[in-house]
Structure 1
Amino acid sequence: MVSRVIPVEPFDLVIFGGTGDLARRKILPGLFRRFCAGQMPAGARIIGAARGDIGQQGYQDMIRGAINEFGAPSAESLVHLDAFIAQLHYVAIDICGDGGWGELAKLIRKDLVNAYYFSVAPSLFGDIAARLNSWDIATPEARIVVEKPFGRDLQSAKALNKVLSQQFDESQIYRIDHYLGKETVQNLMAVRFGNLLFEPLWNAQYIDHIQITVAETVGVGGRGAYYDKSGAMRDMVQNHLMQLLCLIAMEPPSHFDPDAVRDEKLKVIRSLAPVAAHHVVRGQYDATATTASYRTDAENPRSFTESYVAIKAHIENWRWAGVPFYLRTGKKLKARTSEIAIVFKKLPHSIFEKSADEKQNVLAIQLQPNEGMTLDVTIKEPGPGGMRLVHVPLDMTFADALGDHSEDTPDAYERLIMDVIRGDQTLFMRGDEVEAAWKWTDPIIEAWEARNDVPKLYDVGSAGPEDAMALIHRDGRRWREVK
């Protein structure tokens, strides 16, 4: 099966922080792939805006190198590289002053779609938004894209939303979370709401519990200073894991449109019960003979910042009453994987031998590294010898089922940027959604700080601290293997 590419209209995209790490590693290599696929039209223009006075040729050379380094271009795509590079422009700009804004204003074509990507620190969002309007650069239909973190608590999130809303309408603000751009995340909605098979079972009557795991093998790397002020709760749980939980737990929206989908996600967040202290585990990776500890990587020998979090959460509504949601995320774990596992209840009565019904049906949605879904079912083992039952996965791995078109399949950033150009906010967070997530997260963090909570140490290459294992074992359940 070949994916269908629908071109977007010509546009002007300005990337503030256009020489930064995100622009070089993700945004521009992704746009190049969309250009090669025929989705980005020849009439589009990408304008990098940053402090450095490197000039247009210097910028084009920089991005050419970034695409070769981070974009893994094929020999077939490289024939398009010169044409793509020709669409790049550069403006040296003073975000907090007036330098460069007049030049930027002259470049923008107001008769086309205008989008502005704020790939800079959140502290600069207000300055950029204000100057876009004071210089009459942004049109009433312009879109702005803002990266996380969307604040570090409820108070700062409200302040950030207020700053942006003073210059732009909510319909113009695209808060990007790249997890929502993953193919499998979107397929989760298709599986749930496009098939009659699952919806009757998608409730507390049939589901025992749900596990959401985002495990990383890397440490904090060069992000130590930032991460040490953030931690796994702010960096991963409040946004990525929260969004995955919402998509699993939300009610069917009346229509597949941005506000209908986001209204249902917001209801989920507002239905989350407060989390008791004994339902949260914090961890921090420890040193080994060959690897440094978190404290060494963060350059803070007294750090109490968590690199791992496990939470048992409950949603207080009719659909999910009594169903625990186990969330966990951590760094320096044994494998890199992101998975949602819907674990169904055991049979109320088995007609087979007791040993045959030990395992439960599990729908596992794999987000990375290999996107796909499996449904564990029980069947008869082939051959003579009686009714011997075995548990096997019905494999819905996309590369197998749909053909391996990884070269043509857009990654999360590519897809989301194209959605910005189309004006589709379905996969972007709304301001009230962000604030509701912080309202649930803040009391957990405040409780840690109030009691000077010390994270539990765990070994690099493990599945996390022992206390996280006990969190789920107390309920007679087990974490799925991190693999």
Structure 2
Amino acid sequence: MASEETSKVEAVAPSLECVTPGGDTSSNPIKDEGGSLAIVVLGASGDLAKKKTFPALFALFKQNYIPSESTKLFGYARSKLTDEDLQDRLRGYLTGGKTDEKTDPAQLANDFVKLITYTSGGYDEDAGFQKLDKLVEDWEKQTAHEGPHRRLFYMALPPSVYPLVAKMVRKHCMAKEGWTRVVIEKPFGKDLESAEKLSGELGELFTEDQLYRIDHYLGKEIVQNLLVMRFANRFLVPLWNAEHISNVQIVFKEPFGTEGRGGYFDEFGIIRDIIQNHLMQVLCLVAMEKPVSLDPEDVRDEKVKVLKSIGVPTLADCVLGQYEGYTDDDTVPDDSHTPTFATIVLRINNERWDGVPFILRAGKCLDQRKAEVRIQFKDTPGDIFKCKKQGRNELVLRLQPAEAIYLKMTVKQPGLEMQASQSELDLSYRDRYAEINIPEAYERLLLDVIRGDQQHFLRRDELKRAWEIFTPILHKIDEEKKKPTLYKQGGRGPPESDELIGAYGFQRTSGYVWVPPQLQKK
């Protein structure tokens, strides 16, 4: 960053505090610890680092959350690269975050990549990690900032090497003073046994407050709004239960297939890849009870309580599908039974949600890209306006794309006749918050790691319980080699899915489709 800009960092940088919309920083304050911050990206030459990790760090850099004079980035991987090689690879991906009109984006990208030092080495080599540690320590000695020397390690690596790399970090690279924090990516195992094995291996090396199991869905704006929306609005409190809600759907749809990831995807499938982690995290926030505070442990305690109340699904509770052409991928076996689509119905056995089906649906090669929560309310008693044909009331939280929260409701259609029709109360983020930068999920979560806020990261017992729910059905699918139903690309998935959710009470509205306002204007 230009010297004129860096001299202003302390004056303009957002404080490392949780700021409420009114500017009140009294709730859940997080102090800026000062000192140096070394961010080490392990697997720095890979796709995840290039497309997600470094762009997220760049977005924080642009907004002065990681000022250049006290922060240094280190890359480590097996690839034989120079500092300049890695910097050149990254430049085309450095576009995140918002800046003022006077700032030259190319100059900012150049200032950012100059913070990166790269070194290569094996993931099982003591010498490589010793060299990495010396690079970090030499830089820490050169910094003039008083305070702890903080080290953040981001594992942008295949899960198979997590234990090995974690041992090397523990053995050679821990901060001599200050803190060391380690970020690991999903998948956290393939079933309960493998997840517990991984947790045990990491638990022997690091304490729970040093580990950050990242699920980027927890960094999405609408997902983070769930707590505020649910517990800060009085009118929703009496409605949020089985007396008023018929069913809840949490949906993930992609209009494309595995796109070169067939080998990886075939090992895991859609349930392990999307439902067991992303959609279950959203379910917890929809269904949890109000925590006693916003302390990360209080929030995660309530999520675990929900997970403990969920019964284990059976094969009768699910529909599995595979899109036509999936096995044409050379990396996928011709006889693969891996599902690329799944609908699973879960039940939460507690007083609030008794009898309400939670329907999780995820699939590839479908009709659109969409992730949303759809809360469908029961029919209105004494329907004098014949509203059933219009469709039920629904509260929809659209996670991506075009973030929005809208309430589908029945209103009088303008005119001389008393005719009811369905419309919506709409909060579309790109219209309502046009002047506000909506951060990417990784950007927000990396800042949380720096702050030491674990609210949006998985705790070990939370991960274990999620696997306890899904492992029995996953093993049954694998053991019985249950063949998924083939479905055409570009559709809604197997027809059996719509039949299943219909049997559980979901009523699909016909003749009405919500269109994001920015598309309406076109």
Deviations, residues 155-194 of structure 1 (Å, cap 9, x unaligned): 1101100111111000110000011100010011110112
How many angstroms apart in 1 are the aligned matches of 2:78 and 2:130?
15
How many angstroms apart in 1 are the aligned matches of 2:120 and 2:385?
73
Q: Which moved more, 1:107-116 or 1:78-87?
A: 107-116
How many angstroms apart in 1 are the aligned matches of 2:355 and 2:504?
12
The answer to whether structure 1 residue 400 and structure 2 residue 437 are counterparts is no
Deviations, residues 304-363 of structure 1 (Å, cap 9, x unaligned): 00000001111000000000111100000000000101111111223x332467422110
The answer to whether structure 1 residue 133 and structure 2 residue 170 are counterparts is yes
Question: Secondary structure at the residue paired with 2:498?
Answer: helix
1:181-192 equivalent positions in 2, closer than 5 A: 181-192=219-230
Please point out which of 25, 31, 37 is paired with 1:11. 37
2:46 is matched by which residue type in structure 1? Answer: G
1:279 CA drift (Å): 1.1
Please point out which of 373, 377, 398 is paired with 1:344. 377
Question: Secondary structure at the residue paired with 1:47?
Answer: strand
1:376 CA drift (Å): 1.1
1:286 is matched by which residue type in structure 2? Answer: E
Alignment correspondent of 1:47: 74
2:130 is matched by which residue type in structure 1? Answer: G
2:57 is matched by which residue type in structure 1? Answer: L
Structure 2: runs of 5 or more not aligned: 1-12, 17-31, 141-147, 516-522
1:130 is matched by which residue type in structure 2? Answer: K
1:209 is matched by which residue type in structure 2? Answer: N
1:402 CA drift (Å): 1.9
1:172–1:280 distance in 2 versus 1, CA, 3 Å: same
Please point out which of 22, 32, 35 is paired with 2:58. 32
Question: Secondary structure at the residue paired with 1:240?
Answer: helix
Q: Which moved more, 1:34-43 or 1:207-216?
A: 34-43
Conservation of the 8 A alpha-carbon contact between 2:387 and 2:410: no
1:375 CA drift (Å): 0.6
1:331 is matched by which residue type in structure 2? Answer: K
1:297 CA drift (Å): 5.9
1:131 CA drift (Å): 1.6
Deviations, residues 231-276 of structure 1 (Å, cap 9, x unaligned): 0011111101110111100111111111111111111111111212
Structure 1: runs of 5 or more not aligned: 288-292
Alignment correspondent of 1:236: 274
The answer to whether structure 1 residue 90 and structure 2 residue 118 are counterparts is yes
How many angstroms apart in 1 are the aligned matches of 2:316 and 2:355?
17
Q: Which moved more, 1:48-57 or 1:414-423?
A: 48-57
How many angstroms apart in 1 are the aligned matches of 2:389 and 2:14?
45
Alignment correspondent of 1:58: 85
1:164-179 equivalent positions in 2, closer than 5 A: 164-179=202-217
How many angstroms apart in 2 are the aligned matches of 1:59 and 1:398?
35
1:299 CA drift (Å): 2.8
Please point out which of 398, 403, 416 is paired with 1:371. 403
1:134 is matched by which residue type in structure 2? Answer: K
Alignment correspondent of 1:453: 482
Alignment correspondent of 1:221: 259
The answer to whether structure 1 residue 413 and structure 2 residue 445 are counterparts is no
1:325–1:356 distance in 2 versus 1, CA, 3 Å: closer
Please point out which of 457, 479, 499 is paired with 1:470. 499
Alignment correspondent of 2:143: none
Please point out which of 334, 341, 350 is paired with 2:367. 334
How many angstroms apart in 2 are the aligned matches of 1:381 and 1:86?
60
Alignment correspondent of 1:162: 200
1:433 is matched by which residue type in structure 2? Answer: E
Alignment correspondent of 1:444: 473
Q: Which moved more, 1:137-146 or 1:41-50?
A: 137-146
1:380 is matched by which residue type in structure 2? Answer: K
The answer to whether structure 1 residue 391 and structure 2 residue 400 are counterparts is no
How many angstroms apart in 1 are the aligned matches of 2:274 and 2:49?
21
Question: Secondary structure at the residue paired with 1:198?
Answer: helix
Q: Which moved more, 1:465-474 or 1:169-178?
A: 465-474
Deviations, residues 427-454 of structure 1 (Å, cap 9, x unaligned): 0001111111111101111221333210
Please point out which of 248, 257, 261 is paired with 2:299. 261
Q: Which moved more, 1:429-438 or 1:30-39?
A: 30-39
Alignment correspondent of 1:79: 107
Please point out which of 71, 89, 105 is paired with 2:133. 105
1:382 is matched by which residue type in structure 2? Answer: P
Conservation of the 8 A alpha-carbon contact between 1:220 and 1:297: no
1:392 is matched by which residue type in structure 2? Answer: S
How many angstroms apart in 1 are the aligned matches of 2:173 and 2:479?
47
Conservation of the 8 A alpha-carbon contact between 1:26 and 1:413: yes
Conservation of the 8 A alpha-carbon contact between 1:295 and 1:302: no
How many angstroms apart in 1 are the aligned matches of 2:501 and 2:284?
21
How many angstroms apart in 2 are the aligned matches of 1:428 and 1:283?
30
1:277–1:401 distance in 2 versus 1, CA, 3 Å: same
How many angstroms apart in 1 are the aligned matches of 2:330 and 2:238?
48
Question: Secondary structure at the residue paired with 2:39?
Answer: strand
The answer to whether structure 1 residue 427 and structure 2 residue 460 are counterparts is no
1:250-289 equivalent positions in 2, closer than 5 A: 250-287=288-325
Question: Secondary structure at the residue paired with 2:297?
Answer: helix
1:294 CA drift (Å): 4.1
Question: Secondary structure at the residue paired with 2:235?
Answer: coil
The answer to whether structure 1 residue 380 and structure 2 residue 401 are counterparts is no
Q: Which moved more, 1:124-133 or 1:414-423?
A: 124-133
1:103 CA drift (Å): 2.1
Provide the TM-score with structure 2 as the length reference: 0.86
Please point out which of 153, 175, 179 is paired with 1:116. 153
Deviations, residues 182-239 of structure 1 (Å, cap 9, x unaligned): 0010011110112112122111011111011000111011111111110001111110
How many angstroms apart in 2 are the aligned matches of 1:416 and 1:459?
36
Conservation of the 8 A alpha-carbon contact between 1:216 and 1:337: yes
The answer to whether structure 1 residue 317 and structure 2 residue 343 are counterparts is no
Question: Secondary structure at the residue paired with 2:446?
Answer: helix
1:458 is matched by which residue type in structure 2? Answer: Y
Conservation of the 8 A alpha-carbon contact between 1:372 and 1:396: yes
How many angstroms apart in 2 are the aligned matches of 1:142 and 1:61?
29
How many angstroms apart in 2 are the aligned matches of 1:436 and 1:133?
27
How many residue pairs get aligned? The number is 471
1:476–1:204 distance in 2 versus 1, CA, 3 Å: closer
1:67 CA drift (Å): 2.6
